[in-house]
Amino acid sequence: MAQRPTPEQKDKLLSLPSEFLPKPRHQPTETVNSGRTIVVAYDQTRASDALLEKSIRTGLLQPDDDIRLVHILPQQDFLSSFTQISAGNSVMASMTAYDTQTNNLVKEHNESILIEAKEDMLLAVAKVLKNNSFQHVKVEVVQGDRKQSIQDYCESVKPTLLMTGSRGFGKIKRTVLGSVSDYLAKNCPCPVMIVKVTEEEIEARTAMSEKKKSVFTSFMGMVSSN
């Protein structure tokens, strides 16, 4: 059965360099927030990192803002991550078919740990922001459909605005894949700022993304091997 890492293990493994994200254009002038609550749809991809970097460099995010990093974990992605944990779990591997109750308990335990691990990784990004003078940063991991979950979160939090990214897909690709950003712009109860990031801006994140991948892979390896 997977085990929750100790706070000491988290501090040791989940450490991203301060240069992972830039410092704000202006330092905070007060210890209280600006009155703006900004929800950032963030999914740990290079595109999301590029969105954060661009928002900071252009001053869209201010150090006094109340920033909410929200990571939506779709069921398909959740099951994929859960399978990776279960694959290295000797208890799950040896579970007999008739022991359904115990099997379900192990699954529930691992699901809880997976969500907590995803939150810990999100906190690692938030820690960089805080170390770079962004004083008010909170994180939230929500399991569910990306579009509906973000809409529901915004209806609950009532932010000043929602910030989401767009890679500028062509019309055909957007029609096939559907656009989360377009949906949110039409259905969210708050103003939605769609920040377009270019392929060049995403590519520029490669080195930092590799560092993050190394850190997070080691952390998830420890979680699944316990």
Residue pLDDT, tens place only, 82-116: 444 444 443 333 333 434 444 444 456 677 778 88
pTM comes to 0.81
Q: Average pLDDT over the chain, rounded to whole?
A: 81
Q: Write out pLDDT tens, residues 108-152.
A: 667 777 888 889 999 999 999 999 999 899 999 998 999 999 999
Nearest to 5 by CA among 211, 213, 214, 225: 225
Cα 108-15-65 angle, rounded to 5 deg: 90
CB 63 within 8 A of CB 135: yes
H helix runs in 158-205, sequence order? 171-177, 180-187, 199-203
Domains and CATH numbers, the chain: 33-126+137-225 (3.40.50.620)
